[in-house]
Amino acid sequence: MADTVHNLDQPIGALIDIAVREFGEVEFETVALGGQTLEILQIRNMPKYLDKLIDKSRAGKTITLPLWAKVWPSCLIMGYTLTRFPFAEGGRILEVGAGCAVNGLLLARLGHVVTISDIEPYALLFSKINALKNGLDDKVVLRRTDFTSDNMGKRFDYIIGCEVLYDEPSYEPLADFIEAHLTDAAHAEVLLALDRKRQGRKFFDKAAESFAMMKSDANYTDKETGEEKVVNLYRMKRKQA
């Protein structure tokens, strides 16, 4: 798969123009993660854009909801965890299903070598804009990747992902992708975060064949509803022979 669809080797202003043509007005929001801050591009009027998608669907066109554009609570909780995680020096990190790349950019800010991947071309566009905005463009590599079918041709010491278990047909292929792309190093590890409502049973059943897992919970209050909710955090390491 080609690394990108859009030409990302353009100034940030030209890239933002591409985003505006598709999504309407956009704006940068400050995202705080464990003592670090990032400026992250967001769609200013998401309801208006969703109305546009509905109109397309009525015309018989296939539409894709921009789930990648949201900064999910699980990403913020994962980010806090990542700022305190004992990564091995020089370890190569892959973020899968990166969306707007909040955690990949956080790790780049902390000095790590990071590959940011997503299948959605506009997610990579936003990731590139965010990398430029935060002065991290030379710290990350962007790869368009379908983790249900692609082989990236290299392996990583750490694989991270937030809310990647939302489409059941992808569960087992994702487990296979992780198996193929995580190194055999003793320190190699997978870190995932997802809303408790997402069970991902087929993924975890498949992954349990090769990985030992540890789960922890993090509670947060939904700002919109005031409800108490839970994010599950998973750490996965290869089983020792």
Counting other chains too, the contacts that 23-28 makes at CB distance below 8 Å and 24 or more residues apart are 23/49, 23/66, 23/69, 23/122, 24/48, 24/49, 24/52, 28/133
Give the global pTM. Answer: 0.91
**What is the per-residue pLDDT across 199-233, written as a single tens digit (0 to 9) for each?**
788 999 999 999 999 999 999 988 878 889 999 99
**What is the per-residue pLDDT across 56-103, written as a single tens digit (0 to 9) for each?**
676 666 657 677 888 989 999 999 999 999 999 999 999 999 999 999
Give yes or no for residue 134 having a pLDDT over 80. Answer: yes
Three-state SS at 97: coil
Q: Where are the beta strands (DSSP E) in the chain?
A: 26-33, 36-43, 92-95, 113-118, 140-144, 158-162, 189-195, 211-221, 228-238
Give yes or no for residue 154 having a pLDDT over 90. Answer: yes
- Just give the CATH number of 12-238: 3.40.50.150
**What is the per-residue pLDDT across 84-96, written as a single tens digit (0 to 9) for each?**
999 999 999 999 9
Q: What is the pLDDT of residue 206?
A: 95
Domain boundaries defined on the chain: 12-238
